[in-house]
Amino acid sequence: MHGGVCNDVRILKEETVEQMHSPQYTNGRSYGLGWQIWEKSAENYVGHSGGMHGVATKMVFRESDNVGIIFFINERVWNYRERFAFSLIERLLFWKAITI
């Protein structure tokens, strides 16, 4: 989220973005304010998912360099969205294999 700046205009305080991306609730997973939070391969990721009948969506980005991926699947594959997202980010963008 570029620290709360868009097109050189500050839209959120940097502290607000940090709070949004910090765990507020955990139950085996971590949740920030509107964001899911993961640590994979010593990297921090934040994202959000959604969908409805016949479609599943996922947006995940790596905080260290603000690189991410958004995808839409024409199936209800809820259990696989995180696996797809992290695998695609690491393999396609950074040419690394990770255990998912």
| Tens-digit pLDDT profile for residues 77-87 | 656 666 666 67
- More confident position, 86 or 64: 64
Q: How many domains would you assign to the chain? A: 1
Q: What angle do CA 10, 3, 64 make, to 5 degrees?
A: 155
SS3 65: coil
Domain-located, residue 99 = no
| Residue 16 pLDDT class (50, 70, 90 cuts) | very high
- Mean pLDDT of all residues in 53-65: 82
Domain-located, residue 46 = yes
Domain-located, residue 100 = no
- Mean pLDDT of all residues in 71-93: 68
Domain-located, residue 14 = yes
Residue 63's domain comprises 2-94
| Average pLDDT over the chain, rounded to an integer | 79
Residues 6+ apart with CB under 8 A from 95: none
Burial of 80 (0-12, 13-18, 19+ CB in 10 A): middle
- pTM, 2 dp: 0.65
- Order the strands of the 30-31 sheet from edge to edge: 25-26, 30-31, 36-40, 43-52, 55-62, 67-73
